Amino acid sequence: MVIAIGFEGSANKIGVGIVRDGNVLANERETYITPPGEGFLPKETAQHHRSRVLDILKRALDVSGIAPAEIDVVCYTKGPGMAPPLLAVAIVARTIAQIWNKPILGVNHCIGHIEMGRLITKAVNPTVLYVSGGNTQIISYACKRYRIFGETIDIAIGNCLDRFARIIHLSNDPSPGYNIEQMAKRGKSYVPLPYSVKGMDMSFSGILSFLEQKARPKGKQRKAQSKAELEKWSDEDLCFSLQETLFAMLVETTERAMAHTGSSEVLIVGGVGCNLRLQEMMGIMCEERGAKLFATDERFCIDNGVMIAHAGWEMFRSGTRMGWNDSTITQRFRTDEVEVTWRDD
């Protein structure tokens, strides 16, 4: 029996989770929410995490009923992510591990999402669509690595959604992506947007720039448009059009990866994976291919500490160990850099 505790804080979520042999004992989390029209800055996000992490740790221990002496390994997000919040959480994890005299393991954030998704959905060997605020990747396992078949070449899909939400001043509570999803349900007209798939990779920044001109034209662009053109598209229409275009790109590239690998399963992970319209579109594609779609709800899709605990649990029980000198952070920690010692080929 192995009990692992995990600390997650790569972006605006700070979470602590505890697992025991694949069973979730605690999953406590809080979100740093900024005013409408504003994003979250690294320095302020790290300050938020430092101010909240000990309370969240106490809650996790209380909920789980686990004493520090029973924990076998302390796990934390090594990367990828924003440096200040990553560092703030890593310092807490290192301190806790030293106080409790426990081994420490740095976990790849992306691997945490994948392994949590596999645990909850029981997917066996899926093609993984990982979509979040900082990452957009299509992944498949082979030869002890999670191989990246396609990814964004500029900004992540979640970043694209968040930045458009700021353009139209949507609330960040509970999240910009969720509020875009709700507005999209009221959209009635589709606005043709750039569709940018380059082989297996995708580009989202040009779509965002195009939409900004439609939603909030400035200067010469505004003067060149008639009053009728300015009022033609509502914010709801633009949210609807943005979702339909972005998700169609994801479905296309995911289906191509499935065809290449011969996969009959798709697993959607990451914060954007909570979007029901994305799940619906991916489900249609899977049904046409005779494949199965797997997804989780917001408890496990959105960044959380239990996914770090579970991935660390997998690593620890398969023999992975980390020296103190290696318990640092890596902002650009690629999914395919991790040797997957816990899976059999």
For the stretch 73-116, pLDDT in tens is 999 999 999 999 999 999 999 999 999 999 999 999 999 999 99
- Please say if the pLDDT value at position 230 is more than 70: no
Residue 345: pLDDT band by 50, 70, 90 thresholds? confident
Confidence of residue 251 (pLDDT cuts 50, 70, 90): very high
DSSP state of 192: P
> Could you tell me if 154 and 276 lie in one domain?
yes
Percent of the chain's residues with pLDDT above 70: 96
Q: Which residues are annotated as a binding site for substrate?
A: 130-134, 162, 177, 181, 275
**Could you give the number of structural domains in the chain?**
2
Return the exposure string of 294-309: e unless at least 16 CB atoms fall within 10 Å of the residue's CB, then b: bbbeeebbbbbbbbbb
Mean pLDDT of the chain: 95
3-state secondary structure of 140: strand
For residue 114, give the 3-state DSSP assignment: helix
Region label for 218, one of left (φ > 0), alpha (ψ between -120 and 50) or beta (otherwise): beta
Say which residue the tokens 């692992």 belong to. 4
Residue type, 83: A
Under 8 Å between Cβ of 341 and 145:
no
Tell me if 343 is assigned to some domain: no
**Whether residue 174 is found in the same domain as residue 314:** no
Question: Residue 205 domain-assigned?
Answer: yes
158: helix, strand or coil: helix
Residue 60 has pLDDT above 90, yes or no: yes
Residue 164 lies in a domain: yes
Per the annotation, binding residues for a divalent metal cation are 109, 113, 130, 303
Answer yes or no: is 94 within a domain: yes
Decide if 312 is inside a domain. Answer: yes
Reported pTM: 0.95
Give binding residues as ranges.
109, 113, 130-134, 162, 177, 181, 275, 303
Residue 33 lies in a domain: yes
Portion of the chain with pLDDT greater than 90, in percent? 93
Domain that holds residue 7: 3-114+302-318
pLDDT at 233: 84
On whether both 11 and 69 belong to a single domain, the answer is yes
Q: Are residues 274 and 160 in the same domain?
A: yes
**Is residue 290 located within the same domain as residue 196?**
yes
Please report the pLDDT score of residue 52 as a whole number.
98
Query: Is 218 a residue whose pLDDT tops 70?
Result: no
**Token pair in block for residue 248:** 């169609």
pLDDT tens for each residue of 133-161: 999 999 999 999 999 999 999 999 999 99
CB atoms within 10 A of CB 95: 11
